[in-house]
Amino acid sequence: MKSLVFAFALLTAAAPPPEIKAFVHPAAEAPGSQERHAEALLIRLREQHELPALAAVVVRADTTLDLAVTGLRRQGNPETVELADRFHLGSMGKAITATVIARLVEEGRLSWTTRPVDVFPELAKAIHPSYRDVTIEQLLRHQGGTPKYDSVAEIEGAKARAGSGSPRDQRRAFSVWLLQRRPHLAPGTRLEYSNAGYPVAAAMAEAAAGEAWESLVESRLARPLGISLMHGLPARGDSPQPWGHKPKSAFFGMATYQNVVEPQAPGDGYALGVIFGASGDYSLSIADYAKFLQLHLAGLAGRDGLLKASSIRHLHAGPGEYALGWGLGEFEGAAAHGHTGATETFFSRVIILPERDVAIAVLTNTASVTASTATREAQMELLRIYGQPAAR
């Protein structure tokens, strides 16, 4: 997730296996199609920054401009990544959560001003007074005043407090417990990034719809878009999928420290768990993520789809530097909406330029020292190539 911060040492890695090619979207090979650039770029950056795998996509609302993946599902194993392989989104998944909630708003099951006390009867008298009027929109905008929950210790503590019931029961138990505590900040006063607001919003959605969050994501987003979305790390329930990779301490005498990673076995180590899944614990292929980006580009261009254009625009609107699942900024004078995502073993970044009808995402299956650098360099180069205003 975006705010989970881990300290990495500067390490050394063995040279990557030679001749690892990239899988490219079939449209890239169509006769007469424009030249594609992602394949060669990803191969070069993956080798330069010693990453296990690297994936990227460039889309407009109605077409895929470029899409490729390259590298290994697991370091030390010969299986290469394929276009259908899933990568973990980290906090880029917050936009998925907000999109599902927007569908429930359109259905009339929620409104952007719905409060926890409106859906959790047990909080009528027990809620902390400062949280009484907090809204689901404020929670999604990081203006709900909830604590940051940006460390492994905090997240593990939340799991312990939530008990051992169903995932839905655990999310509700955590939300009810949290909302009886003193807020980290007075709700509505200022933005402070918090991973706790999204579990509360998801629990509110479950209470309003009478349906578990996992089912809501499938029925309101994944199935209608025709995408295969899973909760948790890609290989947790499907070991042939890409494994995440952690930085590994190593010593090579007097040699320079560089980037050493080791694969994280499915089911081992740190996991967000069901409570914080809505904060960024989704995995999907780069091609399926492209469909999600196109949904948003089309809405930002004023076209109704799975969501009304007005709902998409609401998800991307200010005020401030954070909308609902999207950070707001500029790129070369144009409005830019984006996010990054990081766990211990994956890193991702995305940018949308609504005025230029283009979105670019870059994903990798490691949280090594150079994961952020490599994905940024890939994104910037693809922006240079594709980020100019679309021809009309």
Q: Flag whether 11 is in a domain.
A: no
Q: Flag whether 263 is in a domain.
A: yes
Residue 263 shares a structural domain with residue 334:
yes
Kindly provide the b/e burial profile for residues 34-56, where b requires at least 16 CB atoms within 10 angstroms of the residue's own CB: eebbbbebbbbbbbebbbbbbbb
> What local confidence, expressed as pLDDT, does residue 390 receive?
56
> What local confidence, expressed as pLDDT, does residue 159 receive?
83
Residue 56 shares a structural domain with residue 130:
no
> What local confidence, expressed as pLDDT, does residue 20 receive?
58
Q: Flag whether 108 is in a domain.
A: yes
**Domain CATH number, residue 47:** 3.40.710.10
> What local confidence, expressed as pLDDT, does residue 239 receive?
77
Per-residue pLDDT of the chain (392 residues; tens, 9 = 90+): 333 322 222 222 233 343 455 666 554 443 334 568 999 999 999 999 999 999 999 999 999 999 999 999 999 999 999 999 999 999 999 999 999 999 999 999 999 999 999 999 999 999 999 999 999 999 999 999 999 998 888 888 888 888 889 999 999 999 999 999 999 999 998 899 999 999 999 999 999 999 999 999 999 999 999 999 999 999 987 779 999 999 875 544 444 445 689 998 877 666 778 999 999 999 999 999 999 999 999 999 999 999 999 999 999 999 889 999 999 999 999 999 999 999 889 999 999 999 999 999 999 999 988 999 999 999 999 999 999 875 55
Residue 34 shares a structural domain with residue 168:
no
Residue 380 shares a structural domain with residue 239:
yes
This prediction's pTM? 0.90
Residue 128 shares a structural domain with residue 62:
no
Please enumerate in sequence order all residues whose Cβ is within 8 A of that of 285, keeping only pairs 6 or more positions apart, or say none: 83, 84, 85, 86, 87, 227, 228
Which of 361, 341, 335 minimizes the C-alpha distance to 350?
361
Please enumerate in sequence order all residues whose Cβ is within 8 A of that of 303, keeping only pairs 6 or more positions apart, or say none: 61, 309
> What local confidence, expressed as pLDDT, does residue 8 receive?
21
Q: Flag whether 7 is in a domain.
A: no
Residue 286 shares a structural domain with residue 194:
no
Residue 257 shares a structural domain with residue 335:
yes
By residue range, what is the domain housing residue 241?
22-89+233-271+280-386
Residue 145 shares a structural domain with residue 193:
yes
Q: In what order do the strands lie in the sheet with 86-88?
A: 86-88, 282-285, 230-231
Q: Flag whether 15 is in a domain.
A: no
Residue 119 shares a structural domain with residue 185:
yes
Last residue in a domain, options 181, 211, 241 = 211
Q: Flag whether 300 is in a domain.
A: yes
Residue 250 shares a structural domain with residue 381:
yes
Q: Flag whether 135 is in a domain.
A: yes
> What local confidence, expressed as pLDDT, does residue 237 receive?
77
Q: Flag whether 369 is in a domain.
A: yes
Residue 260 shares a structural domain with residue 295:
yes
DSSP readout, 138-196? HHHTT-S------SHHHHHHHHHHH-SS-HHHHHHHHHHHHTTSPPSS-TTS-----SS
Residue 351 shares a structural domain with residue 303:
yes
Q: How many CB atoms lie under 10 A from the CB of residue 83?
A: 18
How many domains does the structure of the chain reveal? Answer: 2
